């Protein structure tokens, strides 16, 4: 199994006809992802990469039955693109766009409440389930082998690094998901880990966090209370970051001592997570969990 996506999804690409949309749609098709339509206002009726383009998500859903969307829309219009998909009850919405204003995301979060949609991102690399499908921008070459290790990460590049190490140690990935590094995001770490804990094919989880916020702490506190646990390997990026300075992601800013890498790692370890000091040790840690 996998979480959130599999080989049976029907993917719509919002912003398919733009430069980024075209490039990554081609990569998703090459990976085997079933892309059924694209959305670009004003370009309905055109065909790109053999895929029909529609003016609205509503039109695309009605013609194709699309149930997953991936968004490559510029930041100014990205929140409207998300809202459009939520309105049409798209099951999983993956927003790749970075730089969406916080005020726009507050509006999106409010609209999401009580809806059927699951939002991943924004400012994220998406989701990939090896040998099934990919929704986002993760490199095809790294995620070739399916297996029983789930990855959740706030960092795109460290997701790829972790997967590469895990594969080199002879293991594979069940699903890898990048939740994004902005201060306001859709699905969080606790929610993803809950999905992994209910996935029979995921036997071990790698959780890659960052300084700032308390997503990793909330997830580890939740896991501590469970009777049936799966092994979790954790790493926090930004161990040398100065206090009060944004590092890379909008959400990676330390506002309280508890949000430093050192404090997070202490709390995670206390809650039973196998914490590694360097991303270079993730593959080795997975190997040790299975031996």
Catalytic, out of 24, 110, 249, 291: 249
Identify how many contiguous H helices and E strands the chain contains and give both numbers: 9, 14
Nearest to 129 by CA among 25, 208, 34, 207: 34
H or E stretch at 192? helix 189-197
CA 73, 70, 104, 123 torsion-angle sign? negative
Rg from Cα positions in the chain:
18
- Is 291 an active-site residue? no
Q: Residue 33 — φ and ψ, nearest 5°?
A: -70, 130
Q: Specify whether the CB–CB gap between 173 and 143 falls below 8 A.
A: yes
| Helix, strand, or coil (residue 179) | coil
Residues 6+ apart with CB under 8 A from 37: 12, 13, 51, 52, 53, 54, 60, 63, 64, 66
| Helix, strand, or coil (residue 208) | strand
Give the residue numbers marked as catalytic.
249
């Amino acid at each position: 199994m996998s979480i959130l996506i599999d080989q049976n999804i029907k993917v719509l690409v919002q912003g398919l006809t733009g430069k980024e949309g075209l490039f990554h749609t081609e990569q998703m098709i090459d990976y085997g992802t079933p892309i059924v339509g694209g959305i670009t206002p004003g370009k309905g009726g055109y065909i790109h990469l053999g895929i029909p383009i529609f003016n609205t998500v509503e039109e695309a859903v009605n013609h194709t039955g699309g149930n997953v969307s991936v968004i490559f829309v510029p930041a100014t219009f990205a929140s409207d693109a998300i809202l459009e998909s939520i309105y049409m009850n798209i099951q999983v919405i993956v927003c790749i766009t970075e730089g969406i204003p916080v005020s726009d995301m507050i509006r999106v979060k409010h609209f999401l409440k009580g809806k059927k949609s699951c939002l991943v991102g924004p400012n994220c690399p998406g989701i990939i389930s090896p040998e099934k499908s990919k929704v986002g921008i993760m490199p095809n070459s790294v995620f070739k082998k399916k297996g029983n290790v789930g990855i959740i990460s706030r960092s795109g590049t460290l997701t790829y690094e972790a997967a590469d190490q895990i594969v080199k140690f002879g293991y594979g990935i069940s699903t890898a998901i990048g939740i994004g590094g902005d201060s306001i995001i859709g699905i969080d770490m606790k929610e993803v880990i809950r999905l992994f804990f209910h996935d029979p094919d995921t036997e071990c989880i790698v959780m890659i966090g960052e300084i700032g916020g308390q997503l990793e702490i909330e997830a580890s506190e939740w896991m501590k209370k469970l009777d049936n646990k799966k092994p979790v390997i954790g790493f926090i990026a930004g161990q040398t970051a100065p206090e009060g300075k944004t590092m890379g992601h909008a959400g990676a800013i330390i506002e309280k001592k508890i949000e430093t890498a050192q404090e997070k790692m202490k709390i995670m370890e206390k809650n039973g997570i196998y914490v590694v000091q360097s991303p270079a040790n993730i593959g080795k840690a997975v190997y040790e969990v299975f031996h």
